[in-house]
């Protein structure tokens, strides 16, 4: 295959990626967009096997190893993607992003070993960039995975002098980068990789749980840029195009997500160092709360005219989306006005709730976005908060300095009655006490969301 | 490749990337991130290229690791994105805005 044809096919794959991102931006075309992206990636992968750059004969060297490795990747990747629970999707995306960053770093290292002394300075600089950012993306993504999987604390991890340690690591990493460019050698590059991995860990540790999705998006953009840089090293236009597209769109997406949460990107990354320490919440534990039975909840709902359901991560954990729909249908049959109030970042990822409720075939016209539903809470008789906490926490409006301050919330406090379905009094993902739980018009129903909702449904049926 | 050609491609791709996602509803943030994540799995192409011209066992070993990781990224990424979007499919109430 001539270089021209090879490049032309690569360009076609690049166009597929543009169409894929475009398609993914609109609900109607999103699934097709993803398909087009997959087709582009397949074309790009297949065509490498039929082109040899240096006029060497085909097939490729080490063909058995290459095909075997692809098979291993498919055997690991596909079942993981197929079997993952809806609740665990965010961390899987984080993991996939991390391994992509790791792959880019490895590609750059191999190419560097291969070129040896013959590497030109721009190529070495691009290699150094790929290794640093790829490694940061890899180790950072692993930490986000551990946080989302709750294998480690979801709170910001800050240790004394933390910011100096991070700044020091960054400075050392950059110094090592300069060293690699000047000295050229395998050992400096490996030291650089190790330092970059360490920096990735330190960089993500101080980020609080609720901000983790933004960091995943940022690391995703990083990985895109590393792919572009390795495209430069390997002289592959396709990798440059694809990587740059992801880098650019990922940056915009990160900003959009930060805006949806009312956070600045800077505040997300470095907020833990500047935020005032939370005052001790020990005193709050002893305060009385009003807890009710499923029958109390059913009675309250039965005589309501308008009910807003606010779903959160607890709904996803309990897999209660079908039960909540059953409850909504029952109320609609009784002539009660029902809407779902969807916070853009409820759950662990933006749009998490929409996906979950769509699975239960909840009609779209019942889903109200935050700006739509907030003005209606004053006319709402009952707001049912199911497994959500931070997204309705008034501290976001009233307590400057708390980690979620400034995040737009669903103003359920304006409703006549509030029902919280919770597993326990544990604070939400951001780790902040919610004053609303102690409000006199709040009733708490403890237990697994699905079990509680099932009891409420049967109680409501009997009324 | 000419440096100016590379710079031109890079700059134009940045603008295209900005443009295509500038108006996306928050509903689609997660699938879009996941889809973009799958796209950078195309680093698989790079991994195959370096595996082809690996000369030592060390190089080949690292290249094989890169291929495995990149394949997981690409294939897993597209499958998981499709699973997220599957949920949006059957709708009677029109488009979500």
**Looking at the predicted structure, is the pLDDT value of residue A284 above 60?**
no
Q: Is B45 on the interface with A (CB under 8 A)?
A: yes
Residues 6+ apart with CB under 8 A from A89: A349, B30, B34, B80, B83, B84
Residues of A in contact with B60 (CB under 8 A): 62, 65
Confidence of residue A256 (pLDDT cuts 50, 70, 90): confident
DSSP A333-369: HTT-EEEEEE-TT-TTSTTHHHHHHHHTT--GGGEEE
Tell me the residue length of chain A: 463
Q: Which of A117, A351, A363, A370 to mutate to test the interface with B (most CBs of B within 10 A)?
A: A351
Q: Evaluate if pTM is beyond 0.95.
A: no
Return the DSSP state at A235.
Answer: T
- Classify A446 as helix, strand or coil: strand
B58, containing H or E segment:
helix B57-71
pLDDT (0 to 100) of residue A274: 57
pLDDT (0 to 100) of residue A91: 87
Shortest distance between the Cα of A225 and any Cα of chain B, in A, equals 9
pLDDT in tens, A378-406: 999 999 999 888 888 888 888 877 777 77
Q: Is B27 on the interface with A (CB under 8 A)?
A: yes
Q: Which of A58, A66, A148 to mutate to test the interface with B (most CBs of B within 10 A)?
A: A66
Domains of chain A: 91-275 (no CATH), 290-461 (3.40.50.1220)
User: Mean of the per-residue pLDDT values for chain A?
Assistant: 86
**Looking at the predicted structure, is the pLDDT value of residue A120 above 90?**
no
Q: Which of A71, A96, A321 to mutate to test the interface with B (most CBs of B within 10 A)?
A: A96
**Looking at the predicted structure, is the pLDDT value of residue B95 above 50?**
no
Nearest CA in chain A to B52: A61
| Residue A191 near residue A176, CB atoms below 8 Å | yes
| Residue A12 near residue A36, CB atoms below 8 Å | no
Q: Is B57 on the interface with A (CB under 8 A)?
A: no
Percent of residues, chain B, with pLDDT higher than 70? 89
pLDDT (0 to 100) of residue B92: 41
Contact A223 B40 (CB under 8 A): yes
Other residues' Cβ atoms within 10 Å of the Cβ of residue A345: 28
**Closest CB to B37 among A48, A97, A102:** A97
Contact A78 B79 (CB under 8 A): yes
The answer to ipTM > 0.85 is yes
**Closest CB to A103 among B25, B73, B79:** B73
**Looking at the predicted structure, is the pLDDT value of residue A279 above 50?**
no
Parallel/antiparallel/unpaired status of strands A337-342 and A442-446: unpaired
**Closest CB to A363 among B42, B83, B92:** B92
Clarify whether A448 is annotated catalytic.
Answer: no
Average pLDDT over residues A133-157: 87
End-to-end CA distance of chain B: give it in Å, rounded: 44
Confidence of residue A222 (pLDDT cuts 50, 70, 90): very high
Lowest mean pLDDT among A112-116, A285-289, A369-373, A381-385: A285-289
């Amino acid at each position: 295959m001539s270089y021209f044809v090879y490049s032309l096919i690569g360009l076609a794959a690049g166009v597929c990626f543009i169409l894929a991102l475009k398609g993914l931006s609109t609900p109607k075309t999103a699934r097709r967009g993803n398909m087009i992206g997959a087709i582009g990636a397949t074309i790009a992968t297949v065509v490498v096997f039929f082109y040899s750059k240096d006029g060497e004969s085909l097939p490729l060297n080490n063909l058995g190893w290459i095909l075997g490795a692809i098979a291993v990747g498919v055997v690991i990747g596909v079942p993981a993607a197929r079997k993952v629970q809806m609740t665990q999707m965010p961390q899987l995306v984080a993991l996939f992003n991390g391994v992509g960053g790791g792959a880019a770093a490895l590609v750059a290292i191999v190419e560097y070993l291969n070129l040896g002394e013959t590497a030109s300075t721009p190529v070495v600089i691009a290699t150094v960039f790929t290794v640093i950012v790829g490694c940061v993306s890899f180790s950072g993504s692993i930490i986000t995975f551990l946080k989302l999987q709750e294998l480690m604390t979801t709170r910001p991890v800050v240790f004394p002098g933390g910011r100096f340690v991070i700044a020091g690591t960054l400075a050392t990493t950059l110094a090592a980068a300069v060293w690699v460019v000047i000295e050229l050698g395998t050992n400096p590059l490996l030291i650089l990789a190790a330092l970059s991995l360490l920096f990735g860990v330190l960089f993500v540790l101080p980020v609080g749980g609720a901000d983790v999705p933004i960091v995943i998006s940022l690391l995703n953009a990083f990985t895109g840029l590393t792919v572009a840089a390795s495209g430069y090293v390997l002289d592959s236009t396709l990798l440059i195009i694809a990587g740059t597209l992801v880098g650019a769109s990922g940056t915009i997406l990160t900003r959009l997500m930060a805006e949806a949460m009312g956070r600045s990107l800077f505040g997300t990354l470095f907020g833990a160092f500047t935020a005032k320490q939370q005052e001790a919440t020990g005193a709050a534990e002893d305060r009385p709360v009003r807890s009710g039975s499923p029958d109390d909840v059913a009675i309250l709902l039965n005589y309501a005219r308008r009910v807003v359901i606010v779903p959160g991560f607890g709904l996803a954990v309990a897999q209660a989306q079908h039960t909540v729909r059953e409850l909504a249908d029952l109320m609609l049959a009784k002539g009660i006005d029902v809407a779902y109030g969807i916070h853009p970042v409820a759950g662990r990822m933006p749009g998490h709730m929409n996906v979950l409720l769509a699975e239960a075939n909840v009609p779209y016209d019942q889903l109200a976005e935050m700006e739509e539903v907030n003005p209606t809470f004053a006319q709402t008789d009952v707001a049912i908060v199911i497994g959500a906490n931070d997204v309705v926490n008034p501290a976001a409006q009233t307590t400057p300095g708390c980690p979620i301050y400034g995040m737009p919330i669903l103003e359920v406090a304006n409703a006549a009655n509030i029902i919280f379905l919770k597993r326990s009094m544990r604070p939400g993902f951001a780790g902040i006490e919610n004053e609303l739980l102690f409000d006199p018009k709040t009733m708490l129903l403890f237990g697994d969301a699905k079990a509680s909702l099932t009891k409420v449904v049967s109680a409501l049926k009997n009324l | 490749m000419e440096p100016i050609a590379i710079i031109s491609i890079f700059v134009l791709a940045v603008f295209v990337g900005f443009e295509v996602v500038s108006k996306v509803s928050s509903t689609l943030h997660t699938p879009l991130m996941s889809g973009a994540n799958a796209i950078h799995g195309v680093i698989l192409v790079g991994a195959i290229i370096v595996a082809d011209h690996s000369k030592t066992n060390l190089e080949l070993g690292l290249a094989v690791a890169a291929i495995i990781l990149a394949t997981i990224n690409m294939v897993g990424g597209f499958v998981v994105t499709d699973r997220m979007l599957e949920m949006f499919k059957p709708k009677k109430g029109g488009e979500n805005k």
